[in-house]
Structure 1
Amino acid sequence: MTAPAQPAAQVASNAAQPSAATKAKAKGSNRPSPEEIEAKRAARALKKQKEAEDKAAKQEAIRQSLLDSGDADGRVAGGHLDSQGNTLYIPRSWGKVASPQRGGGDNGTGNHGDPGPKVKFLSWNILAQGLVRRKLFPGSDCLKFKDRAAGLTAELSSRTGHGWDVGCFQEVDRLEVHGETLQRDGFAYVYEKGYRTKQHGLLIAWRKAMFGEAEHRKLLVDLDEEGVYEPDLADGGRRRTACSRVTRNIGLFVALRFAERRGASTAPGVIVATTHLFWHPMHAYERARQSGILVRRLEAFRQSLGEEWRTATVVLAGDFNDQPHSATYHLLTGKPLTDHCIQEIRNSTVVHKSIDDKRERAQAAPGASGTDAVDSDKTAAEQGGEGDGGEGEEQDAEEGDVDEEEEEGEEGGADDQMLKNCRAATPEDGLLTIDELLQLHDLSRPLPGCSPAQPSTSGGDAEQARGNGRLGLMSSYGSHYGRLCDPEEVDNFFGTKSRGRERHDDETWRQGQDNVHTGESREPMWTIFSSLFSLTLDYIFLFPTTAGDASSGQGEAATATATATATATARQARFPQVTRLLRTHRTETLQPGVPRKGVCASDHVAIAAEVVCGSSPSPSS
């Protein structure tokens, strides 16, 4: 049977349509070859690479433009941002100190003679990486150094940070990183540690364009070994240190000469010191002793530089591990001692076993006598345990940095509210009485004697016993932070009523309760704000421009004369003028704690003061 014939129109249509084979052949002819595909891929990759290079070049041009166009403080715009626009730290502004009313100013704000150069002094405990423990900073996202480095570098750098001229830094390690930052910004620095194997130390840096390449003079003070009085030859040359425990804390002093001096009435430079006092909260006596030694040695350092340095600005800045209501702060600033101050000194006038151990080693050593120094590295290695500055705690693996480093200060444990391994002090220990601590800090009086003073049996004058009328130092923030303008720092003080809890383990604290330190203190509300501790520990102190005769003359007549003139001397004290202060973070910014990415890479907050240096200021009243 033959198939039925198709209509002519359908046959024509079928003839017009290409066959499947023809379609496949045509499709294959339009597909790029493997070589063409590879060429297109290479072109796309080259385009992406060029776009990335153009973007990087644009970002570098912007960065370089910022570096070439700093503000009045030498800071670049956007220095707190990385190349992607991410925040590295929260920047802060400088606040101008309001001028006092005529005749009514406090210390450091009176009429001044020839104005000297303005120098911005900064102090910051940058938190040594070797001290980082996750248990001390629960919840922090900024513990590994790779997470902290960018924020630390950006804020530490004067150009991308706070525009400082002289910086005092504590807990400095990773010197290969921080030193490079300082040198790149045009700064020189000196660095010292408390003992050879210590992993972090103190650093003072200065702008070379302002002070030159090298320091004029440097001094390292061992606070354990420094005597409170020159050796008494009549007593066999015995040195009285009055030390209550081995701490291995130091003070670092430098004299910096101005690269260009303005005139004969201007001092040749500035004198700067930094320290990190002993951390344990219960050892108030030892911190009070250390601060007094720093005051005396720094004043002696100024006098040793010669007459032309007599009116030089002297700055003592650092982490003092004590709050404004403490004995240390009251002694340093010449404020009368409160009942709390007196009680905390009395409670901590004890001797730690590290002192007894040190004496035993000294007596056992060939040719050793008295309380002279022994190998400080050996002392450091043998003193351990109890979280009190000893060695040996391994670091959490996740932080992955230096191990065998001591836990410091506010990073202590639950036992930091107890005195451990201590005994009652005896007269033979030679610890300082409260009267002697007052005298040690008073620049208008001679040093205490080489032998312990006997407690007063007559009771004496109550004002004198508490230290009224002493010549102390001036706190830059304590004296001026309450007088910032545009805007004022309202409710951001240590004495503010709404200041919250200081310790996470304070079971007596209740939400909304008043600040236990409510009062007139105008120190910053916080200078450290971790998730465990929130405290005010860092200060920038200024010495009186002339401190009078700090001789060590003894005897009843000398003591009576010094006592009679102390109040008048303190009232006539002259201090350098503070013109601006770096504003500190408020609580809402720091919560729930730092270090934290994008906020601050340390648990401490940097503080800074602009000071008119080297001028001839008039009395404040």
Structure 2
Amino acid sequence: MSRPYQPTAEDIAKAEQRRIKREQAKKIETPAVEDDKSQILPREWLDVSPHLASSEGHTIRVMTWNLLAQSLVRRELFPTSDCLKASQREHMLYNEILSHNAAICCLQEVDRTEKLFPVLEKANYAWVYAAGPRKKHGCLIAYRKDAFSCIRQKVITYDDQEIREDGDEQARRGSSFRTKNIGNLVALRKLGPGNDGVIVATTHLFWHPAYAYERARQAGILLREVTRFRSEGSGPEALWPSIIAGDFNFPPDDPAYSLLTGEALLPAQKARLEASRVVHATIDPTIAAGGAAQAEEEEEGAESGENDPDKIIVNARAAQPSDGLLTDTELEGLFRQSGTPTSAYDAGQKAVPGISGSGLTYGSRGTIPSDRRGSFEPSYTSYTHYWKSVLDYIFVLDAPGRDVSVVRLAKPHSKEAFGDGLPRKGVCGSDHISLAADLHWPPLQ
């Protein structure tokens, strides 16, 4: 019988060295896996008026982003994406939100709140969340607990808002489609001495590209209600600037963008509005009664095919005067009664030397005259295999005697960074690209 093996001191030393190497390898591998899950494309910043950051008043960073609700994800809509599962996207989403280190975050298509809320709480944010009737996702405004307190909040349901005083209930609303979209409004008082603060609104307007009128109606209502909300506050709140950020679902050459920013409507824009002045089955149940309920439940990008309803209008009739839809002149009046917002990116990038030839502006795509507002918006804020557009904005409505200035902007990515389309691992967890801006306004006198 052979003698049992007895390891030498040298054998024991080698075994110990191998054990230590294995332990070290485990320590290195674990963080690498986590980092890979949350990796996103790094963001540079553009200086617009950096000297204002140290001047008297307030400089606040605001970001906005559509997260792409998990409840809306469909493989057929994102055939080139490599990260459509919630477990693949969520760490990228959290990293993107927190990477901006914003004092105020406006988020749309927010679902899986049981996962997101603890992340915000750990990062020292409080929030106000709201969703439309029976919507599986909503709009959220998060703000730094050590910077602001929320003193008022309001939810605007566009379907219920009236835009004229005459006619029956339907005519007073003047709506073409019951969409369940909302605007989420808050009044944030800045902590510390004084009574300064800011009004913040975020929204996700109706998605259907063919319904230009309904989107313009919703944008006009939002602007009106933000102005009202500010005026309803006590004393100094009437002098607080207003930030209106979100997914507006219209590009800079859309009639709603021109109405919002004070540009005259072009003939092509008027034609788009006229073609979309219809009444859908969700408003008039006598139209295609069998499909009305289904149409009301449609979600963004939920349909596809040769009769794709995101390209054509179905289950609708031409509007009649008794339906109360606003004319072009009446739409212009709705917007102008509330002031004219400025886009932080359009105004900010316009002030950056050499930006025009960089390919980072919407005007570089040749779809809008260079002298029109909107020409200096980012080239893209949504980029997928099937659609590539600008849909997201940070608008600012100055307070009386207190103009808001852009200090810095999160630099838009070049389209080459997006590959065949978002979401994409290591790049972005959503089909939208986040926007962020440092905004400055003078102190309250």
TM-score normalised per structure 1: 0.64
Listed one character per residue, the Cα deviations across residues 459-510 of structure 1 (whole Å, up to 9, x for unaligned) are: xxxxxxxxxxxx41111111111223698882211010xx3xxxxxxxxxxx
125 and 145 in structure 1: CA distance in 2 versus 1, 3 angstrom threshold: same
Q: 1:239 to 1:139 in 2, by over 3 A?
A: closer
Cα deviation for residue 348 of structure 1 reads: 0.7
Match of 1:416 among 290, 297, 310: 310
481 and 487 in structure 1: CA distance in 2 versus 1, 3 angstrom threshold: closer
Equivalent pairs, count: 436
> Residue 198 of structure 1 aligns with which residue?
135
Given candidates 22, 25, 43, the residue that maps to 1:92 is: 43
Shift of the 52–616 alpha-carbon distance from structure 1 to 2, 3 Å rule, reads: same
Check if 1:343 corresponds to 2:271: yes
Shift of the alpha carbon at 1:606? 0.2
Query: Does the 8 Å CA contact 1:542/1:575 hold for their aligned counterparts?
Result: no
The 5 A counterparts of 1:412-451 are: 414-443=308-337
- Residues 170 and 323, structure 2, Cα contact 8 Å, conserved in 1: no
Contact 2:107 2:139 in 1 (8 A): yes
Secondary structure of 1:355's aligned partner = coil
Partner residue, 1:13? none
Could you tell me how far apart the structure 2 residues matched to 1:336 and 1:615 are?
33
Which residue among 365, 370, 376 is the counterpart of 1:519? 370
186, 204, 221: which one aligns with 1:293: 221
CA, structure 1 residues 329+82, in 2 after alignment: closer, same or farther (shift >3 Å)?
farther
Q: Kindly provide the amino acid, as one letter, of the partner of residue 138 in structure 1.
A: P
- Aligned pair in 2 of structure 1 residues 519, 409: CA closer, same or farther (>3 Å)? farther
SS at match of 1:135: coil
Q: Name the CA shift for 1:32/1:589 in 2 (closer, same or farther; >3 Å).
A: same
In structure 2, which of residues 156, 159, 165 is the aligned counterpart of residue 224 of structure 1? Answer: 159
Gaps of 5+ in 1: 1-24, 60-80, 101-108, 362-380, 391-405, 445-470, 500-514, 547-572
Q: Which residue of 2 aligns with 1:146?
A: 87
CA spacing shift, 1:412–1:316, aligned 2, 3 Å: farther
| Counterpart selection for 1:407 from 278, 288, 299 | 299
1:249 correspondence with 2:189: no
CA 523–282 in structure 1, closer or farther in 2 if over 3 Å, else same: same
Partners of 2:68 and 2:432 within 8 A in 1: yes
Cα drift, residue 589 of structure 1: 0.6
Question: How far apart are the structure 1 equivalents of 2:402 and 2:301?
Answer: 33
Equivalent residue runs for 1:332-481 within 5 Å: 332-357=260-285, 383-385=293-295, 390=297, 406-408=298-300, 414-443=308-337, 471-481=339-349
Using the alignment, how far apart are the partners of 1:608 and 1:125 within structure 2? Answer: 13
Preserved CA contact (<8 Å) 2:280 2:316: yes
**CA displacement at 1:152 relative to structure 2:** 1.2
1:184 to 119, 122, 129: 122
Code of the aligned partner of 2:260: L
Q: Of residues 93, 96, 99 in structure 2, which corresponds to 1:155?
A: 96
| Letter aligned with residue 344 of structure 1 | R
Equivalent positions of 1:24-63 (< 5 A) are 28-29=2-3, 32=5, 47=20, 50-51=23-24, 55=28
| Bigger Cα Rg | 1
Q: CA RMSD in A?
A: 3.4
Q: Please tell me whether the aligned partners of residues 171 and 323 of structure 2 are also in contact (alpha carbons under 8 angstroms).
A: no
Q: Does 1:544 align with 2:438?
A: no
Deviation per residue, 1:405-447 (Å, 9 max, x gap): x430598663322111111111211111111100000036xxx
1:93 Cα offset (Å): 1.8
The amino acid of 1:200's aligned partner reads H
Alignment match of 2:428 (pick from 579, 600, 603): 600
Structure 2 counterpart of 1:90, one-letter code:
L
**Take 1:415 and 1:123, find their aligned partners in 2: how far apart are those partners?**
28
Which amino acid in structure 2 is aligned with residue 254 of structure 1? V
Secondary structure, aligned partner of 2:408: strand
- Listed as ranges, the matches of 1:465-504 within 5 Å are 471-484=339-352, 490-496=358-364, 499=365
Q: CA deviation at 1:350?
A: 1.1
Secondary structure at the counterpart of residue 589 of structure 1: helix
Q: Secondary structure at the match of 1:346?
A: helix
SS at structure 2 position matched to 1:522 = coil
Deviations 1:7-55 (A, max 9, x none): xxxxxxxxxxxxxxxxxx7xx43x5279x9xx99996896466436765
**Does the 8 A contact of 1:97 with 1:485 survive in 2?**
no
| In 1: Cα distance, 2:36 partner to 2:217 partner | 48
In structure 2, stretches of 5+ residues that fail to align are: none
Displacement, 1:307?
Answer: 2.8
What do the CA deviations read for 1:64-85 (whole angstroms, capped 9, x no partner)? xxxxxxxxxxxxxxxxx86556
Measure how far apart 1:144 and its partner are.
Answer: 0.8
Q: Percent identity?
A: 37
SS at 1:119's partner residue? strand
1:154 Cα deviation (Å)? 1.1
- Does the aligned pair in 2 maintain the 1:311–1:614 contact within 8 Å? no
SS in 2 for 1:356: coil
Instruction: Compute the displacement of 1:164 (Å).
Output: 1.0
Higher strand share: 2
Distance, in Å, in 2 between the alignment partners of 1:119 and 1:583 is: 17
**Offset, 1:613:** 3.9
Distance 2:398 2:421 in 1: 36
Q: CA–CA distance in 2 between the matches of 1:287 and 1:222? A: 13
Whether the 8 Å CA contact 1:278–1:409 is kept in 2: the answer is: no
**What amino acid is aligned across from residue 219 of structure 1 in structure 2?**
K
**For residue 256 of structure 2, what is the aligned residue in structure 1?**
328
Moved more, 141-150 or 482-491: 482-491
Q: Tell me which of 434, 438, 445 is aligned to 1:610.
A: 438
- Look up the SS of the partner of 2:294 in the other structure: coil
- Which secondary structure does the structure 1 equivalent of 2:231 belong to? helix
Residues 336 and 46 of structure 1: CA distance in aligned 2, closer, same or farther (over 3 Å):
same
- CA 1:423/1:382 → structure 2, altered by over 3 Å: closer, same or farther? closer
The answer as to whether partners of 2:49 and 2:406 remain within 8 angstroms in 1 is: no
Change (3 A) 1:429 1:93: same
Residue 271 of structure 1: aligned partner: 199
